[in-house]
Structures are given as C-alpha cells and as structure tokens.
C-alpha cells in the first residue's frame, strides 16, 4: 500500500528536485550526514543531525455534544494515525514530524467555525473535520476564502458535493447510502414508512433522497423532522407514534446521531405502536455505546432493527486497523473511524507531495495522492466534487454479546442494488 504511495511521490520529478535541493541547502548550512574537517592529527568526522520540519494538522472533533461517543473513539484513532504517519515518513527518509492540534467543537456549527478560525490564526492550513454536515456547511465559506483544506471523514450530505472548493470528504455522499437504506427497507417488506429525521443538513438531505428512491421502488413515505439538540425526545417519539398509527405505517426510518438516536430508541421501546413495526436506521448512531443498553438491545431484536453504513467490504487493512485499535486502546472502531484514519494519512502525504505548507498546493497534491492510496476505508480516490468516488455499504445490527451485553455487528452488504445477508440475525 505505502510502497505505491511513496513510489508515486518519490518518482515525481518535481518532488525529487525538491528533495535534492533540500539536501544541497542542508549540506551548505552544515546539516550534512558527515563532514571531514582537516586539522592537527588528521581529519575529524563531525556528524550533525538535521532538525525535523514540523507540520501541524488541525482536528475539530465532537468530543462533547451529540456525537461525543464517537468523538472519544476518534481521539484514539488520531493518536494511532499520527504515530503511523510519522513512522512511515521517517522510514522513507523524510526529516519531518506531524503533530495533531485537537479542538472540541461540541457537535455545534458555530464552534466548528471558531475552531477553524483558531487554526488559521495558528498558521494551520490543513484541518480534519468537522464531523457533521451542518458544521461543514458553516465552515466552508471561511475555508474557501482563506484556502484552508478541510477533510471531513463523516460529512455525507449530498448538498455539499460541490466541485472546486476546499472541502473534501473521505466518504461517499448520502445519495448512495439513501438508496442502500431504501433498498434494505423494501427488501425487508416495508411498504409504507415514516422517515423520522434530524432537522439539519444531514437529516433533511438524507430524507429527501430516501423518499425519492423508496417511492421509485413502489413504496410510500412521509417525513417527520425533529428538532436537534434536545435533552429528551419523549414528546417527539409520542408524535411519531401518533403519525405511525394514523397513517398505518409498517416501518420507521430513523436518521439520527448518537445521543438523540439512543434516546429516541429507548422511548420507542416503551410504545406498543412503535414496537409492532419494523425499524431501519442510518449510519449516524453506529458505534455509540448508548445503543448497547439492554433497553435498546431488546427493542432492536423485537423490531428487527437493521441499519446501513459506509464500509469497504472484505478489506484486510480494516481488519488490521480494528485489531490494533482494540488491542491498543480496548476500543471497537465506531462509524467512520477508518475514514478518519485515512483522512489524516492522506493529509500528511499530500503535505509531503506539495513540498510546501500552502493550502492550494496541498489541495492539488491531495487529489493525486488519493488516487494511489488504499487504506482501512478502501481506495480513497475522490470524485469531481471531492467526495470518495468508490463507496460500498454494509448492513449492521445490534446483537447479544460483548462486554456490555450487546454489540454492533455487520451482518450483510449492499452490492449492485442488491441486499445480501452474510448471516442470520433475527430468528
């Protein structure tokens, strides 16, 4: 994998020229590997170690707020990725050190913008994150104006698939996932559903695309948006139950994040109406430990809850990444953890390829590097809008097992408009 990346880097004429020039300048300044100095008693060899060039990569992460469960896992993913990036750069002879500068954005739009502005004041031109599409939308204008490269590992709203800007995403847009989830729901027998979704950039766009795809398949649907950022969703779930009963729906499509998703499912478990129909869910809450409570776990089994999530199928690099995260930190990779890891690695190699810490140059280099980089999230080549060009989707469920009594498990895949289950989940 990294041989291909380095080959693309090392054989590039401009990069080779930069390396040669750097070595020449280093020797002239006294930074050579060794220099012979004449003197009494013969030559004396003096070895001077060149100082490392330090590159900072900013990360605006949801360490608190609605995505905090995933954010805490991501913090360890960052540590792993930065260590791997530095080790690889050193192995290839680059005298550089990458450092992460992490700021918490609380899963809040304005805070994400403040973080990007803070990075800019520190001279940081490459930022990983933010996580949510609503946040990416808010930081986009500032990033474009100031030529700050934004690489989000988890923003998926199709409305942000915009060419020629400074925003890239190491995941496919929800135009693809909405089709996968619609296919899953229809395959499982749902014909009349209520789409219960976050009233934000992510939820609204996902709901729009899902509705179109599902109705094209022959199903019918209605939308019910809920306000985000609430401490409790009991009232919203009661409204959902009323809507389901009135319309005679046979399924609910939940498009949520961590804390809101868990709270909604826990209240739904108390509803006779909502416990008698099928439930399907987006990738948003996958990996959140709140969903592994006995209440949610038992409800998932009762309603045969299935979800979709971006996942590169049968990838040995993902298996290795997962094993290292578990053995090192005792953590299962939550949703988009592999996309975050690859975003950091891509950023580092793009900086090296650019040969200068300039946002526009790094943006151009990123596109080239991504064409030959294959990581835990699979092949990372970007499409014309800066989103991951090749994206597969897995099917997940919540099943008994694990230290908390329940665990997330991938039980199938979506391939070529077809649902394929790899194992039986609900009997």
Q: What is the pLDDT of residues 51-72, one digit of tens each?
A: 889 999 999 999 999 999 999 9
With contact defined as beta carbons under 8 Å apart, do 237 and 274 qualify?
Answer: yes
Whether 182 shows a pLDDT value over 80: the answer reads: yes
Structure tokens at 264: 């909604």
pLDDT for 8 = 40
- Over the stretch 128-159, which tens digit does the pLDDT of each residue have? 999 999 999 999 999 999 999 999 999 999 99
Could you tell me which residues are beta bridge partners of residue 152? 169
Same domain as 346, residue 409 = no
Same domain as 110, residue 96 = yes
Residue 423's contacts (CB-CB under 8 Å, 6 or more residues apart) are: 411, 412
Same domain as 358, residue 266 = no
Mean pLDDT of 332-349: 95
pLDDT for 379 = 94
Whether 326 shows a pLDDT value over 50: the answer reads: yes
Same domain as 59, residue 95 = yes
Total domains in the chain come to: 2
Assess whether the previous peptide bond of 263 is cis (omega < 30° from 0).
no
Same domain as 398, residue 265 = yes
Q: How far apart are CA 294 and CA 406, in angstroms?
A: 7
Percent of the chain with pLDDT over 90: 82
**Helical H runs in 11-108?**
13-28, 68-91
Sign of the torsion angle spanned by Cα atoms 381, 382, 388, 389 = negative
Give a yes or no: residue 257 inside a domain: yes
- Over the stretch 396-413, which tens digit does the pLDDT of each residue have? 999 999 888 999 999 999
Sign of the torsion angle spanned by Cα atoms 230, 403, 423, 278 = negative
What is the 8-class DSSP label of residue 8?
H
Structure tokens at 153: 């590992």
Kindly indicate the confidence band of residue 389, based on its pLDDT and cuts at 50, 70 and 90. very high
Q: How far apart are CA 150 and CA 58, in angstroms?
A: 9
Same domain as 397, residue 275 = yes
What is the 8-class DSSP label of residue 335?
T
Structure tokens at 301: 């089994």
Whether 14 shows a pLDDT value over 70: the answer reads: no
Give a yes or no: residue 45 inside a domain: no
Same domain as 285, residue 178 = yes
Same domain as 229, residue 143 = no
What is the 8-class DSSP label of residue 97?
E
- Residue 95: CATH number of its domain: 3.40.50.2300
Give a yes or no: residue 321 inside a domain: no
Give a yes or no: residue 19 inside a domain: no
Same domain as 286, residue 227 = yes
Same domain as 166, residue 61 = yes
Give a yes or no: residue 114 inside a domain: yes
Q: How far apart are CA 261 and CA 199, in angstroms?
A: 13
**Distances 82 to 122, 167, 176, 369 between C-alpha atoms, Å:** 19, 21, 30, 17
Residue range of the domain that includes 352: 54-171+336-379
Higher pLDDT, 50 or 204: 204
Same domain as 142, residue 104 = yes
pLDDT for 50 = 65
DSSP string for residues in 148-167: -EEEESS---GGG--TTSSE
DSSP E strand stretches across 244-352: 251-255, 278-281, 306-310
Give a yes or no: residue 34 inside a domain: no
With contact defined as beta carbons under 8 Å apart, do 150 and 218 qualify?
Answer: no
Kindly indicate the confidence band of residue 369, based on its pLDDT and cuts at 50, 70 and 90. very high
**Three-state SS for 228?**
coil
Give a yes or no: residue 22 inside a domain: no
pLDDT for 276 = 97
Give a yes or no: residue 153 inside a domain: yes
Q: How far apart are CA 178 and CA 165, in angstroms?
A: 24
Same domain as 205, residue 161 = no
Q: How far apart are CA 282 and CA 181, in angstroms?
A: 7
With contact defined as beta carbons under 8 Å apart, do 350 and 316 qualify?
Answer: no
């Amino acid at each position: 994998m990294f041989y291909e990346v380095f080959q693309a880097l090392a054989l590039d004429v401009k990069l080779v020229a930069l390396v040669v020039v750097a070595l020449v300048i280093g020797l002239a300044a006294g930074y050579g590997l060794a220099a012979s100095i004449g003197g009494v008693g013969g030559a004396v060899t003096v070895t001077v170690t060149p100082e490392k060039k330090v590159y900072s990569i900013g990360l605006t992460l949801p360490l608190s707020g609605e995505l905090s469960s995933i954010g805490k896992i991501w913090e360890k993913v960052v540590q792993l990725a930065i260590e791997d990036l530095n080790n690889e750069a050193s192995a290839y002879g680059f005298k550089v050190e990458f450092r992460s500068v992490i700021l918490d954005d609380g899963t809040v739009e304005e805070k994400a913008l403040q973080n990007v502005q803070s990075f800019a004041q520190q001279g940081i031109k490459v930022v990983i994150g933010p996580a949510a599409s609503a946040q990416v939308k808010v930081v986009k204008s500032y990033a474009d104006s100031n030529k700050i490269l934004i690489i989000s590992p988890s923003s998926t709203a199709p409305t942000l698939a915009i060419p020629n800007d400074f925003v890239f995403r190491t995941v496919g847009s929800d135009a693809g996932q909405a089709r996968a989830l619609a296919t899953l729901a229809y395959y499982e027998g749902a014909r009349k559903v209520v789409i219960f979704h976050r009233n934000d950039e992510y939820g609204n766009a996902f709901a729009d695309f899902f509705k179109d795809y599902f109705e094209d398949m022959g199903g019918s649907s209605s939308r019910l948006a809920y306000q985000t950022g609430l401490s409790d969703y009991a009232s919203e779930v009661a409204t959902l139950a009323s809507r389901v009963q009135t319309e005679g729906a046979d399924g609910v499509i939940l498009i949520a994040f961590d804390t809101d998703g868990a709270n909604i499912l826990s209240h739904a478990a108390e509803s006779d109406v909502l416990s008698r129909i099928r439930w399907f869910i987006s990738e948003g809450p996958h990996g959140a430990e709140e969903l592994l409570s006995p209440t949610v776990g038992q409800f998932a089994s009762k309603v045969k809850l299935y979800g979709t999530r971006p996942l590169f199928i049968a990838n040995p690099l993902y298996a290795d990444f997962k094993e290292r995260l578990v053995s090192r930190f005792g953590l299962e990779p939550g949703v988009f953890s592999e996309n975050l890891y690859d975003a950091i690695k891509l950023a580092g190699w793009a900086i090296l390829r650019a040969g200068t810490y300039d946002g526009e140059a790094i943006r151009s280099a990123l596109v080239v590097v991504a064409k030959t980089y294959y990581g835990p999230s699979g092949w990372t080549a970007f499409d014309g809008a800066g989103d991951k060009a090749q994206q597969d989707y897995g099917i997940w469920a919540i099943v008994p097992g694990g230290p908390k009594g329940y665990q997330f498990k991938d039980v199938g895949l979506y391939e070529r408009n077809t649902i394929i289950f790899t194992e039986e989940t609900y009997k």
